[in-house]
Amino acid sequence: MTWRTVVGTLATFVTTIVVAFWLINEPARMKEAEDGFAGRSMEAGAAIYENNCTRCHGPAGGGLVGLAPAINNPALFDGSRLAEVGWAGSLHDFVYSTISGGRPLASSGTTWPQRMPTWSTEYGGPLRHDQVRDVTAFVLNWGRAYEEGITALQNPETATTSMEPIDAVGIDINTPELPPGNPDDGEALTVSLGCTACHIQTEVGPAWLAENHPDGTGIGTRSGERIDAADYTGAATTAEQYLRESIVRTNDYVVEGYEPGIMVATYGETLTAQNLSDIISYLITLK
């Protein structure tokens, strides 16, 4: 019996000391665990963003011309955006509630052709509330770059939204002469520039893929037929030229059934000759 007493007392003693140390360290441990869960939330949010938001807000939150505003934007984090819309609550609540409920009406001063959709299942959207929470955490993490004064990350995929001046192709459909294009690069560009949001995922613009178009023809086929059509008002003489015109001078000829001014009219100022050629060489393959 005596050795049991000794061992038992010793075990109690050791355990008490361990628990005491654990308790002393508990506030620090809890803080670390909390940061850990916040980090995991951003990880999950980044994936949700990639799957749902990239097509309008761009891969790195820089926004896409004609589709949706930048949300990695200092105005969101320095309070000026909140002041602009007259939001009295916290930034977190502004972002969380915008994502949850979407923007059924345009906020003052903006004229985005598409609405920000509803995301939370609470309002009939596809994301659970914890997913909205995660993607909110991810969006708000752009604020860290703003706080720490970091302007650009070494991220190749954000290059399209960087502020560097580019050598734009302009709005003439004959000059400059376009270099040979690469259809694979072109396809990637249509995704990152958001063209697919209007032309493939939705029918805001004429469908590019044959299976989505009422005539059963793809844009590659139609562009060749269009120039011979009676109602054609543009100046193009080849299919490639028609595509070039549609992209850089979109309102010279407006496809029947569509309103002018919906498709962004400034691509001539944001695309390089190489970009444009890549896109055209891709579109021409969509028979």
Partner 1 sequence: MSLFRIHAPILDDIRSDGLMPTLIAKTDEVVTRLTAGLNVEEIRSVLRGDPPKRPNPRVKPHADGFWMHMRPTYFHEKVMTLYPTFRLGWLSVYFLVFETITGLVLMLWYTPSPLTAFEDMQNIMSNVPLGLMMRDLHRLGAEFMVMVVLLHMLRTFITGSYKKPRQFTWFTGGVLLLLTLFLSFSGYLLPWDQLSLWAVTIGASMAEATPVIGREVNLLVRGGPDFGANGLLRFYLLHVFALPLIAFIFLGVHYYKVIIHGHSLPPKEEEIGVDTARKVPMEKRSYFLPDVLTKEIYWVVIWTALLILMVTVGNWHAPLEPHADSQVTPLHTTAPWYFLWLQGMLKLGDKVFWGVVAPGILVNFVFVLPYLEVGPSRRYIHRRVGLSVCAISIIVFSWLTYMGTPYHAVSSSPDQEVVAALVPQTHPGPVRTASYDELVPGEYSSDKWNSAPTDNLREIMETFDHEINKYGNELPGAVGIMNIVDWQVGLKKVTLSVVWNNGEDTFTQNVYVHEDSKHGH
Which residue shows structure tokens 């972002």? 95
- Does 239 help bind ligand HEC (rule: CB under 6 A)? no
Bridge partners (DSSP) of residue 64 are 68
Tell me, residue by residue from 58 to 97, as one string, x for binding to partner 1 by CB under 8 A and - for no binding.
--x-------------------------------------
Q: Which stretch binds ligand HEC (CB under 6 A): 25-33, 152-160, 174-182, 195-203?
A: 195-203
Q: Which stretch binds ligand HEC (CB under 6 A): 5-13, 91-99, 168-176, 230-238?
A: 91-99
Our CB check for ligand HEC shows the closer of 60 and 95 to be 95
- Does 138 help bind partner 1 (rule: CB under 8 A)? yes
Shortest Å, Cβ 176 to ligand HEC: 18
Mention every residue, 6+ apart, whose C-beta is less than 8 A from residue 5: none
Our CB check for ligand HEC shows the closer of 151 and 214 to be 214
Binding residue count for ligand HEC, defined by CB under 6 A: 54
Shortest Å, Cβ 2 to partner 1: 9
Shortest Å, Cβ 193 to partner 1: 20
Which of the listed partners (ligand HEC, partner 1, none) does 261 bind, with a CB threshold of 5 to 8 Å by partner kind?
Answer: none
- Does 106 help bind partner 1 (rule: CB under 8 A)? no
- Does 28 help bind partner 1 (rule: CB under 8 A)? no
Q: How distant, in Å, are the alpha carbons of 51, 197, 236 from that of 251?
A: 32, 19, 13
- 158-197 residues near partner 1, rule: CB under 8 A: none
Mention every residue, 6+ apart, whose C-beta is less than 8 A from residue 126: 52, 119
Distance CA 63, CA 75 (A): 13
- Does 20 help bind partner 1 (rule: CB under 8 A)? no
- Does 205 help bind ligand HEC (rule: CB under 6 A)? yes
The answer to whether 186 touches 286, Cβ cutoff 8 Å, is no
The answer to whether 189 touches 181, Cβ cutoff 8 Å, is no
Token readout for 106 is: 């345009």
Q: Which of 77, 96, 119, 142 binds partner 1 (CB under 8 A)?
A: 142
Q: Which of 86, 109, 156, 214 binds partner 1 (CB under 8 A)?
A: 156
Binding residues (CB under 8 A) for partner 1: these are: 1, 4, 7-8, 11-12, 14-15, 18-19, 22-23, 26, 29-30, 32-40, 42-44, 46-47, 50, 60, 128-131, 138, 141-142, 144-145, 148, 150, 153-157
Binding residues (CB under 6 A) for ligand HEC: these are: 49, 52-53, 55-57, 66-69, 71, 76, 81, 95, 98-99, 103, 106-107, 110, 112-114, 116-117, 119, 135, 139, 190, 193-195, 197-199, 204-206, 219, 222, 226, 243, 246-247, 250-251, 254-255, 258, 262-264, 267, 279
